[in-house]
Amino acid sequence: MSQFNVKRPIVGLPEQDPEPQFSDDELVWTDDEQAKIERWKGQYPDPKAAIMNVLWLAQEKFGWLPPEVIQLCADTLDMDYARAFGVATFYTQYYKEEQGEYVLDVCTCFSCQMMGGYDIFHYLEEKLGIHDGETTDDGTFTLKEVECLGCCGSAPMMQVSNGPYVHNLTKEKVDQLIENLRAGQMPTFTSVTLPQDEDEMGGNRRTDVQPEQVETYQTPPRAEATE
Amino acid sequence: MEATNGTPQSKAGDWRSYERVLLPPVKDLHRLEVYEQHGGYDALRTVLTDDSLTPGDVTQAVKESGLRGRGGAGFSTGMKWSFMPEPDDRPRYLACNADESEPGTFKDRQLMEYNPHLMFEGILIACYAMQIDACYVYTRGEYVDWIDHMQVELDKLYDKGYVGDNIMGTGFSTEIVMHKGAGAYICGEETSLLESLEGKRGYPRYKPPFPAQKGAWSQPTTINNVETLACVPLIVNRGAEWFASTGAEQHPGPVLYGISGHVNRPGVYEYPTGMLITDLIDEVAGGVRGGKALKALIPGGASVPPLRADMIEGVTMDAESLREAGSLFGTGGMLILDEDTDMVSWLRRVTHFYQHESCGQCTPCREGTGWLEQIVTRIDEGEGRLRDLDLLLELGDQMEGRTICAFADAAVWPVRNTVKRFREEFEAKCKKSVHPTGAEVSAGAETAA
Ligand SMILES: Cc1cc2nc3c(=O)[nH]c(=O)nc-3n(C[C@H](O)[C@H](O)[C@H](O)COP(=O)(O)O)c2cc1C
Ligand code: SF4
Ligand code: FES
């Protein structure tokens, strides 16, 4: 009765034997990195628990996690490749494909959706000429639609390259951000102040955060259409 | 809830003059030096040095305070602690759940940013009460900035001898380790968190055995939320009676309300539990944006049933009142939706979230969340049939209670209750005529494929 009409596999199948991206000479830890790994291993009753940290370290070093990098991590902790690969593929923040220089993780989850998260996301799609998960031709930006980042009060918002959050997004703010990133300037950590602090202590409570790094929770003006 | 004069009453007492204790207004409170100047670590010192205070007494005090977990389930914290077996030669662990990924929830992050030592002190007291050897603070990977900030403060604690061997010279020792996640909502579920902590895929485990019997690395383990642990020093300093008499009787204490959505003043607010929802929306959060009317409220994160505007009169933010009203307290992350909200489109995004985040171990959940999304999407795109609404409800019945963890239940509740409570909106989007002909059946089958 029914025809199976598979449009695309839900999860892309990895190539069986992709060309290695890194040479054996590159696939080594520095002494500093090795020291970190040893410290992490000592923090758990079973050193294999350090795999998440080691994958993070590898991603910082190599930019992403092709099979040979995952193999390095597995060897480092004396575990099977399959287990390390399993961990790398379970968590969304580990990059299994090469990414642009900057990764824009735009939250479109429903609190952000209600505040115009998709307006921001579609604006970026048009501005950069790419869709969800794609990278610009010049390799500068990768755009992603992500789930709640735990900042729903300052929606819509995004995270840049697994790093700083950018809150209360507007099209102007997005333009500025893209311009800054093109000039190699990452956003800095921003503290969003509590409304009660604004009433009781005039806003920001942390003196280690510069005034330009401080924002308040805001509600964007009503958009014409909420998606 | 109804006062004698018939007007709805808050259980939060004189909340307008409430003085904050979780996030008191002190500049630079996140720094150890400042925290100590304001009485920080006194509670820990008392607990460790007062010989008349046994670990059992601390657990008892937490039980008497009535503290209920702030991570979503609202289980009695003192009770949970008392499930830990008697100390033997096995190591014992505590996991502080800082995974905070429940959409609509953003309060733990503020606590970690502005008052991390309250959490650390709570952890240390909990470690004493349960005789824990090491606590892992499992923080979602996206919170990397906050992890780095907390690590700085944690290093200071090690330097000062407040964590590690022989804490404050009392002979009590425990470690605190920051563990960074890497993006998976399900790792907030306690047994998934433990798997992840062990360096595996975050697949939830069957219960029983419960973590207190067989937790991290098969050893006795307790899991508590950040805010729950932050309440513990307050209980030691101010007494269990003070805590129990703050806010709603059955669900007491100070609490962080994260208010987001269509309100004029969103943000994280600290008040006692038992606040009237109407007070929180109209007064605290400055009312609905643009003077619009309220349509719906999600009181405690994605997983709790939404309430229609006409259902919140006299309802207060505590487990009992919300249960009577037909919802749950959850995480206290309140999403407010105004009259122009398209509930079908909203629910479509909710189901997408669950489809994306299911870990895939159980068939009813892995397949069911996908079907929920496809059916709601079909309705949202005007291709739905009226009978799809019943299909959604029936599908929910098939998923609920048939899976390893509560994720599938959490996916079903918002769907079921949104469809039931906003049915006209769903019906309005469905195709009007229903022809039980072959043509229609194949059209439906095509969309589903
Ligand atoms: C699918 C799912 C996700 C959860 N996510 C979180 C979370 O992000 N943070 C949290 O503290 N608890 C979360 N929980 C609740 C935990 O399983 C656990 O009940 C809680 O951490 C216990 O702490 P408490 O007793 O202090 O609330 C989640 C539960 C489920 C079923
Ligand atoms: S209910 Fe869903 S999330 Fe939970 S274990 Fe089963 S498949 Fe995984
Ligand atoms: S929904 Fe976007 S941060 Fe929570």
- Euclidean distance between the first and the last CA atom of chain B, given in angstroms as a whole number: 49
pLDDT band at A13; cut points 50, 70, 90: low
Alpha-carbon distance of A103 to A96, in angstroms, equals 13
Distance from CA of A24 to the nearest CA of B (A): 26
- Find the closest chain B residue to A195 by CA distance: B267
Alpha-carbon distance B125 to B121, whole Å?
6
Read off φ and ψ for residue B225, nearest 5 degrees: -75, 155
The residue ranges of every structural domain in chain B are: 19-244, 254-338, 343-428
B105/A152 Cβ within 8 A: yes
Give the CA distances from residue B228 to residues B4, B74, B252, in Å, rounded to whole numbers and listed in that order: 34, 10, 12
Residue type, B38: H
Closest in A46, A108, A219 to B264, CB measured: A219
Token pair for residue B339?
A: 């009259």
Which residue type does A99 have?
A: Q
Ligand 3 pocket test: pick from A106, A111, A114, A169 the residue with the most ligand atoms within 8 Å of its Cβ: A111
Predicted ipTM of the assembly = 0.92
What percentage of chain A reaches a pLDDT higher than 90?
Answer: 88
> Tokens for B398?
């098939």
CB pair distance less than 8 Å for A152 and B449: no
Q: Which residue of A has its CA nearest to B34?
A: A206
Which residues in B lie closer than 8 A to residue A196 (C-beta atoms)? 20, 23, 25, 267, 269-270
Which tokens go with B404? 């390893």
| DSSP, res B164 | B
Contact A194 B342 (CB under 8 A): no
Nearest ligand, CA A118: 3
pLDDT for residue A5 is more than 90: no
Quote the CA–CA distance of A167 and A152 in Å, as a whole number: 9
d(CA A79, CA A70): 11
**Alpha carbons A194 and B350: distance in angstroms, whole number:** 27
CA distance A74 to A83: 8
Interatomic CA distance for residues A152 and A107, integer angstroms: 9
* Cα angle value B357/B225/B296 (rounded, 5°): 60
Q: Kindly report the CA angle at A41 between A35 and A43, in degrees rounded to 5?
A: 110
Sheet of B221-225, strand order: B175-180, B134-139, B93-98, B221-225
Check A49 against B198: CB less than 8 A apart. yes
| pLDDT confidence band for A151 (50 / 70 / 90) | very high
- Burial of B350 (C-beta count, 10 Å sphere; 0-12/13-18/19+): buried
Is B95 touching ligand 1 by the criterion CB < 6 Å?
no
Q: Which residues contact A157 (CB under 8 A, 6 or more apart)?
A: A107, A112, A149, A151, A165, A166, A167, A168, A169
Structural domains of chain A ordered from first start: 31-90 (1.10.10.1590), 102-215 (3.40.30.10)
Asked whether the whole model's pTM tops 0.90, one would answer yes
Mean pLDDT for each consecutive 10-residue tract of chain B (449 residues)? 59 95 98 98 97 96 98 96 97 98 96 98 98 98 98 98 97 98 97 98 97 98 98 98 97 98 97 97 96 96 96 96 97 96 97 97 97 96 94 97 97 97 96 58 39
pLDDT of A18 reads 80
Tell me the DSSP string of B46-110.
HHHH-TT--HHHHHHHHHHHT-B-SSSS--BHHHHHHTSPPP-SS--EEEEEE---STT--HHHH
Q: How many residue pairs from chains A and B have C-beta atoms closer than 8 A? A: 206
The CATH T-level fold of domain B343-428 is: de novo design (two linked rop proteins) (1.20.1440)
Q: Say if the Cβ atoms of A201 and B27 lie within 8 Å.
A: yes
Q: What is the pLDDT of residue B447?
A: 42
**In chain A, which among 14-33 make CB contacts under 8 A with chain B?**
none
CATH topology of domain B254-338: Ubiquitin-like (UB roll) (3.10.20)
pLDDT over threshold 60, residue A166: yes
Q: Domain B19-244's class?
A: alpha beta
A13-27, A94-108, B136-150: segment of lowest average pLDDT: A13-27
What's the CA-to-centroid distance between B201 and ligand 2, angstroms?
A: 12
Q: Is B100 in the pocket of ligand 1 (CB under 6 A)?
A: yes
Q: At what angle do helices B144-160 and B107-114 cross, to 10 degrees?
A: 40
CB hemisphere CA count around A227 (13 angstroms): 18
